[in-house]
Amino acid sequence: MASSDAYLRRVVDRQMAAKLRSIPVVLVEGARGCGKTTTSRRFAASEALFDVDEAARAHAAHGTLPLLEGPHPMLLDEWPIVPGLWDRVRRASDRLGQPGRFILSASAQPTDYIIAHSGAGRMGRIRMRPMSLSESGASTGTVSLARLFDHGVDAAACRVGPVHAPAAVDELRNVIEWLLRGGWPLTRAMTPPDAQEYARDYLEICRADVTKASGVRHEPRSVRRLLASLGRNSACEAAASTLASDMGEQQQGAVARQTVRAYLDALESVFVYEPQPAWSARLLSRTPLRSAPKHHLVDPSLAAAAVGASEASLFNDRTALGLLFESMVIRDVRVYAGACRASVFHYRDKTGLEVDVVVERDDGKWIALEVKLGTPDSVDAAARSLLALKDKVDTARAGAPASLSVVTSTGQPYLRDDGVGVVPITSLGP
């Protein structure tokens, strides 16, 4: 395994090691620039970087890349560039008959390889996202998402009671800086304005990636307007027609909705857009549930860049900041949830009850989180929503929530008298 003193440990490191011990091919997927290649190279004994190595790409295309010889694990970076490579990897892994033979990294999801060959029994998938605050070094990680499933916000994490001190203003400014900086390894040490310049350029490149990944010609200005609309509608459930109207689409009705959905599918295929699905709750009553997903770009820095936000504008516009902060929390929770085999949803029913985050583990255990910037009144309202959801769920079928918590931007973790935890994002970890 390669090593580097500069390597920033990632939450997926343990997942990678475990899959290499158990399955022949590990597929690492995620947005361009999130660190897939760096992490994959750390676990690889040999490599072929197809987006930069023309000779390796030619060998792979002609079937002369020495897949069987290794050494293994062999990293095949940006492997979808080479048509037919999956078939050759599949056959090589069958012949080798051992786990940990290949690491396949990709910044775009191929459209046909899973349909043709599912990879069942041969392939395990890992989703990488931009760095969470705990990976960037901006969170202590004292409140573990995994432990919330078993212990809630326990005494070990709660060393002080609720704090609403003037220092919270400085903490909020720090959180805004990390939001604008984003979870990109390249921007970790940048100033927020420089990081936002990176994010704006990222969005421009992303427009070309959309066409390349989908194979469909897209209007670049329309994709850019959609990205801006998604930035404005971060953490919201805006319908395709609303997004189309917000984009200023000239087309109307079903045509406009179809165009927006095609663009969303393309952005999702390059891992830039990641909707947050609604939770299929088992309720005591027959209250109708909303099924629309919430919109999120993969990193809040992209949403901020798409709408031209700055440190000053976000500090002075708490509504806009609240939505982007929620998207930041979702990014981090998704990173942590991946380490404990859990999925991230939201809840909303037709009575108006909303809960920002429901994290459900593959064994059915679940926790619920509300996201607030952190004023006392907003925390109280969030706690009431969480307790209302607890009362609505049929615990005989779904089980009681393992924990209920409000995720805030500032302060220290503490446990309220009603049993709801309060956890600043700078204390949350895997």
Query: What percent of the chain shows pLDDT beyond 90?
Result: 72
Q: Is the pLDDT of residue 118 over 70?
A: no
DSSP helix/strand/coil, 325: helix
Looking at the fold, whether 104 and 224 belong to one and the same domain comes out as: no
Q: Which two tokens stand for residue 247?
A: 């984009």
How far apart CA 136 and CA 8 sit, in angstroms, is 8
In this prediction, residue 259 has a pLDDT band, given cuts at 50, 70 and 90, of confident
Going 178 to 182 to 187 to 192, the CA torsion angle's sign is negative
pLDDT in tens, 348-371: 999 999 999 999 999 999 999 999
Given 128, 154, 182, the domain boundary residue is 128
401 vs 209: CA distance, rounded Å: 41
- Exposed / middle / buried, residue 75 (Cβ in 10 Å: 0-12, 13-18, 19+): buried
Residue 58 pLDDT level (bands cut at 50, 70, 90):
very high
Domain-embedded: residue 2 = no
User: Residue 210: which pLDDT band, with cuts at 50, 70 and 90?
Assistant: confident
- Is 167's pLDDT higher than 60? no
Higher pLDDT: 232 or 2? It is 232
Order of strands across the sheet with 102-106? 46-49, 74-77, 102-106, 25-30, 123-128
pLDDT confidence of residue 217: 67
The answer as to whether 364 is a domain residue is yes
Q: What is the CA radius of gyration of the chain?
A: 22
Q: Alpha-carbon distance 277 to 231, whole Å? A: 18
Please check whether residue 305 is in contact with residue 202, taking contact to mean a CB–CB distance below 8 angstroms: yes
Instruction: Categorize the per-residue pLDDT at 290 as very low, low, confident or very high, splitting at 50, 70 and 90.
Output: confident
The tokens describing 297, both together, are 């770009």
Helix (H, G, I), strand (E, B) or coil at 148: helix
Q: Say yes or no to pLDDT of 166 above 50.
A: no
| Structural domain range at position 268 | 133-429
| Phi and psi, residue 30, nearest 5° | 165, 170
Domain for residue 96, yes or no? yes
**How would residue 320 be classed by pLDDT, with cut points 50, 70 and 90?**
very high
* pLDDT the model gives residue 3: 44
Task: Please compute the mean of the pLDDT values over residues 103-120 and round it to a whole number.
Answer: 71
Q: Is 218 in contact with 209 (CB distance < 8 Å)? A: no
Residue 211 lies in a domain: yes
The owner of tokens 């090593």 is 3
For the cut 90, the answer to whether the pLDDT of residue 163 exceeds it is no
pLDDT at 161 over 60: no
pLDDT of residue 1: 46
Q: What is the mean pLDDT of residues 297-310?
A: 98
- pTM beyond 0.85, yes or no: yes
Q: Which helix (H) or strand (E) holds 422?
A: strand 421-424
- Tokens of residue 281, six digits: 């709750």
Kindly state whether residue 6 falls inside one of the protein's structural domains: no
CB neighbour class for 305 (10 Å; exposed up to 12, middle 13-18, buried from 19): buried
- Tokens 């709660």, residue? 158
Q: 164 with 411: CB under 8 angstroms?
A: yes
Determine, yes or no, domain membership for 5.
Answer: no
What's the mean per-residue pLDDT of the chain?
90
Let me know whether 222 and 356 are in one domain. Answer: yes
Of 99, 65, 68, 94, nearest to 79 by C-alpha is 65
* Identity of residue 193: P
Q: Which residue has the higher pLDDT, 138 or 250?
A: 138
- 215 and 333 share one domain: yes
Which of 112, 128, 144 corresponds to the end of one domain?
128
pLDDT band of 6, cuts 50, 70, 90: confident
Length of the chain: 430
Query: What per-residue confidence (pLDDT) applies to 256?
Result: 80
Q: Look at residue 154 in the predicted model and tell me its pLDDT.
A: 72
pLDDT for the residue 199? 97
Q: Is the dihedral of CA 183, 191, 294, 105 positive or negative?
A: negative
**Least confident range of 129-133, 256-260, 346-350, 381-385:** 256-260
pLDDT band at 5 (very low <50, low <70, confident <90, very high): low
Same domain, 89 and 159: no
The yes-or-no verdict on residue 303 having pLDDT over 70 is yes
Residue 120 has pLDDT above 90, yes or no: no
Tokens, residue 366: 């679940």
Please tell me whether residues 317 and 196 are part of one structural domain.
yes
Residues 267 and 408 in one domain: yes
Same domain, 241 and 261: yes
- Look at residue 169 and tell me whether its pLDDT is greater than 90: no
Provide the token pair at 153: 């916000």
Residues 257 and 327 in one domain: yes
Query: Which pLDDT score is estimated for 155?
Result: 55
For residue 346, the SS3 value is strand
What confidence category does residue 319 fall into, taking pLDDT thresholds of 50, 70 and 90?
very high
Amino acid making up residue 81 = I
| Gap between the Cα atoms of 298 and 383, Å rounded | 27
pLDDT of 327? 98
Which of 105, 128, 151 is the last residue in one of the domains?
128
Closest CA relative to residue 342, chosen from 366, 323, 310 = 366
Q: How far is CA 383 from CA 87, 219, 290, 416, in A?
A: 52, 44, 21, 9
Pairwise pLDDT comparison (325 vs 266), residue with the higher score: 325
Total domains, the chain: 2
Strand 403-408 relative to strand 421-424: parallel, antiparallel, unpaired? parallel
Which of 402, 417, 413 has its CA nearest to residue 425? 413
Is there a domain that residue 325 lies in? yes
| Phi, psi angle pair for 53, to nearest 5° | -110, 100
